[in-house]
Amino acid sequence: MHAPHDPPTAPHETSTAPRSSQLRTGWRAKILARVTASDEIEMREFLDADKRKLLTPLHGTILEIGPGTGPNFAYYAAGAHVIGLEPNAFVQPTLVKKAKAFAGTFELRTGSVEAIPLPAASVDAVVSTMVLCSVPDAGRALAEIRRVLKPGGKFAFIEHVLAPPGGLRLLQYVAAPAWHVCGDGCCPVRRTYEDIDAAGFTRVDYRFTRYGFTVPVSSTCIVGSATK
């Protein structure tokens, strides 16, 4: 189901983006790590039901883009093999610690979603929760996600996006410069749904929702999946 207020407006099969495995260790990455940790309880409260529906059915090899401190381990099926692509050095220790309690296997990778360090058609599912907002080139990232998915594989996502016209949208634009700094590149006015619609998936299903976050700038989200 697509948005009534903003109608949606093909990716490559091999990666041509510059390869990078450099950890993010700057002060903005450190701020983001602290914000991520402090928001985890509230995120769990509001996203729990949607994550259970979206993530628990996934199986096999799952690539999670930007797993952060590892809140999604609570939703993955036992026996799944999770590959975490996490460039932020400050969240990695907590992520690895949480992975030890996971009833599956975990592999940590460092790199960019715009140049995923995995072969084509190598994973059963890709997960992204509140991540594409910070990717410089969302179109390239989605092309990479589609590339590494096996045929029939699913891309599951919860992403905050531009709000419908009104006061909240105005607030998003006003907050955007500071949000970009404190969120290590996060953009609160992204039309990520348009990027997903244009990414060449065989099927795309999502809905718009608004979560009751304390800070409403990132409360308008899309929840859904795309099938290769």
The CATH number of the domain holding residue 204 is 3.40.50.150
Task: For CA atoms 27, 28, 31, 33, give the dihedral sign.
Answer: negative
Q: Is residue 145 part of a domain?
A: yes
Number of separate domains in the chain: 1
Contacts of 170 (CB under 8 A, 6+ apart): none
Q: Is residue 20 part of a domain?
A: no
**What pairs with residue 209 in β-bridges?**
221
Tens of each residue's pLDDT in the chain, 228 residues: 444 334 333 333 333 333 334 555 454 454 545 556 445 666 778 899 999 999 999 999 999 999 988 999 999 999 999 999 988 877 888 899 999 999 999 999 988 899 999 999 999 999 999 999 999 999 999 999 999 999 999 999 999 999 999 999 999 999 999 988 877 788 999 999 999 999 999 999 999 999 998 889 999 999 999 999
Q: Is residue 116 part of a domain?
A: yes
Contacts of 175 (CB under 8 A, 6+ apart): 188, 217
Q: Is residue 12 part of a domain?
A: no
Task: For CA atoms 121, 228, 224, 159, give the dihedral sign.
Answer: positive
CA distance 6 to 148: 29
Q: Is residue 21 part of a domain?
A: no
Q: Is residue 4 part of a domain?
A: no
Contact yes or no for 56/80 (Cβ under 8 A): no
Find the domain containing 163 and state its range. Answer: 27-227
Q: Is residue 189 part of a domain?
A: yes
Q: Is residue 13 part of a domain?
A: no
